[in-house]
Amino acid sequence: MLVNIVILAPIIGSLLLGVLYLARKSLGLSQRFFAFLGMIGPVVSFVAMAVLFVNSYGSSLNLDIFSWLDIAGFSINVGFYLDDLSLVMAIFVAFLGMLIHLYSIGYMDGDEGFGKFFCYMNLFLASMLILVLANNPILMFVGWEGVGVCSYLLIAFYFGDKDNVKAGNKAFILNRIGDFGFLIGLIALYLASSGVKFDYIGLNEVSFSPSVAIFIAFCFIAGALAKSAQIPLYTWLPDAMAGPTPISALIHAATMVTAGVYMVVRFEFLFAGLSLPIEVLAGIGAAGALFAGIIATKATDIKKILAYSTMSQLGYMFAALSYSSGAAMYHLFTHGFFKALLFLSAGAIIIALHHEQNIFKMGNLKDNKSLYYPMLFGMLAISGIFPFAGFFSKDAIILGALLSGHYTIFAILLFTAGLTAYYCFRLFFLVFYSQNPAPKQHKVPFSMLGVNYILCLFALGGGFMAIFLDIDHPTLMVEIVAGVVSMAVSIIGIFIAYKKFYNYKNCEENMGKFESIVANKFYIDEIYDLVFVANLKRISHFLREIIDDKILYPLVEFSALIFKAFSQIYARYTQSGLASSYAFYMLFFICVIIIFSKAIL
């Protein structure tokens, strides 16, 4: 069955890569071998998924593969649900995952952990496909946790650096906070739906009471906020840039951070009719879009600018969920194309400049067309410039907010569109047109550039994804006027960036007091450290040094001394060397135990 191949190909690839990587020295395996083996799983998975998509799109199929658990009426099957949503999402994930694997061959060239990297990448891809194709919430949670573990392994991939380990830990811990909420929601969902088959089709037939549905919905929202890096659980995302750049592209474009949006849409049977949770989520999304956009205007690390832009664009998607889940998914797909392009273009620049990531230490790269055009296409797409993909999907969200009466969200998202164009072209002009001295350029492998060229086509024409989605369309004239207004705002942002940073000649940016606060990310990390981390440390120290060392440990030691003394007294008066005495004591204590047990029971 094709869906089994889609899932098993990257899983088997990951297992083989892991085992062979451990034995690479004794077997004399080369980097080329690991590159070939690392590509097999993603390619097979994509081809199988493409065939499945062609054969099954437009229909709905629920497949139970085998029974996983069946205990006292609680049964969970491993199975897959193929409908239009999961099919489009899965082929999107498989396609981008395959391209990013191919790009990684060039990016990781010569790295000591080359085989291990592809082992993790294959497992990451498999986990995301399980999450998307699962036919029940439990199996979805398995994939959900799988991408969390893989992200930890890949963000902290260079674990010799303490900061990288901290970044991996931060991502892991913050996601566990959200996952705790998600898990509580799953348990509540199971209890509220007892008596039905616990898969999406069965759950779709359950009528939940409003209070229970709202509770479960907020629990799920907690999971979505952490996984998709939204306020207040977003601080792990910029630090996740510690991992290799292909990981940033995989996390930001096709897998982990999009899982939160997909999950909310997947559970539409629960969220439908619940105005409070979804409006709260929309408010958080709009605020996150603006907040991240403001921080990005003062960031200097090329990858962190793109990380904040991811958080901002995900805010658009969450905002759209309150009035059009189709528009949210539309932007998820187009964003996946151009965000993958932006990260992989940034990776090519970083390789070309010997791992320099500060945009104020780059400049005058406009003559390198293999770096210039991919980044330009990505910037035009995310800025919403016609006819690039981002123009259509972002306009669908902004116009949808206006037509549905969400005027505050409309104003925030429209302003953020201009802000996005500004900080994106700030990066672009500094890297390609400023007069700042840049390191001597290094040759970039063709596998990296080739993938970027492919993604350029999708950043330009990715708007076609609309044909697979249910999106409301007002009159043509309204769409034209909205598109012109939205693009005009973006062009203003680009023009301001042009005036400030074209031919720029300063290796740093002059800033006032407010700008310094923005550059320090509003000190949110420091506030979190002060409020949560520092207090947790104090509680931990109190538990260890007072409760454990001065109360529990002496108590246990005192108990041991009492038993030791009692044993010595007992042995002195009972060790006679007579077997009949020992038999008597044994019989006596067995009787005591029996009488004691009977008394309790």
- Residue 592's pLDDT is 92
User: Cα separation of 320 and 276, whole Å?
Assistant: 15
At 301 the three-state DSSP class reads: strand
Give 475-523 pLDDT, tens digit per residue.
889 989 999 999 999 999 999 999 999 988 877 888 888 999 999 999 9
Q: What is the pLDDT of residue 250?
A: 87
Task: Decide if 319 contacts 75 (C-beta within 8 A).
Answer: no
SS3 readout for 302-355: HHHHHHHHHHHHHHHHHHHCCCCHHHHHHHHHHHHHHHHHHHHHHHHHHHHCCC
Q: How many CB atoms lie within 10 A of CB 536?
A: 10
Give the model confidence (pLDDT) of 6-21 as tens digits. Answer: 999 999 999 999 999 9
User: Is residue 432 in some structural domain?
Assistant: no
Strands (E), 359-495: none
- Is residue 398 a part of any domain in this protein? no
How many C-beta atoms lie closer than 10 Å to residue 548's C-beta?
A: 11
pLDDT at 549 over 80: yes
CA distance 145 to 155: 15
What average pLDDT does this structure show over 96-121?
94
Distance CA 80, CA 65 (A): 8
Strand partners, 81: 62
What value does the mean pLDDT take over residues 331-350?
94
CB of 248 within 8 A of CB of 241? yes
Per DSSP, 471 falls in state -
For 4-35, letters b (16+ CB in 10 Å) and e give ebbbebbbbbbebbbebbeebeeeeeeeeebb
Phi, psi of 69, rounded to the nearest 5 degrees:
-135, 140
* The predicted structure's pLDDT at residue 506: 79
Q: How many other C-beta atoms can be found within 10 angstroms of the C-beta atom of residue 147? A: 25
144, pLDDT greater than 70: yes
Is residue 215 a part of any domain in this protein? no
Task: List the beta bridge partners of residue 590.
Answer: none
Q: What per-residue confidence (pLDDT) applies to 195? A: 64
* Mean pLDDT along residues 568-588: 84
Full-prediction pTM beyond 0.85? yes
Between CA 216 and CA 186 the distance in angstroms is 8
Report pLDDT for 347: 93
In a domain, 522, yes or no: no
| CA atoms lying within 13 Å on the CB side of residue 410 | 14
pLDDT above 70: residue 601: no
CA 210 – CA 270 distance, rounded (Å) = 10
Classify residue 68 as exposed, middle or buried by CB count within 10 Å of its CB (0-12, 13-18, 19+): middle
C-alpha angle 441/442/443, rounded to 5°?
Answer: 125
Q: Is residue 430 part of a domain?
A: no
Kindly state whether residue 485 falls inside one of the protein's structural domains: no
**Domain extent for 545:** 529-600
Q: What is the mean pLDDT of the chain?
A: 92
383-442 pLDDT, tens digit per residue, is 999 999 999 999 999 999 999 999 999 999 999 999 999 999 999 999 999 998 888 888
Give which of 295, 199, 320 is closest to 517, Cα–Cα: 295
Q: Which residue, 225, 268, 244, 199, is CA-closest to 100?
A: 244
Flag whether 547 is in a domain.
yes
Residue 305: pLDDT band with limits 50, 70, 90: very high
- How many domains, in total, are found in the chain? 1
> How confident is the model at residue 55, as a pLDDT?
93
Per-residue model confidence (pLDDT) at position 598: 80
Q: What pLDDT, on a 0 to 100 scale, did the predictor assign at position 457?
A: 96
pLDDT digits (tens, 9 = 90+) for 227-267: 999 999 999 988 888 888 998 888 888 788 899 999 999 99
Residue 85 CB coordination number (10 Å):
20
Residue 417 lies inside a defined structural domain of this protein: no
211's CB contacts (< 8 A; 6+ apart) are: none
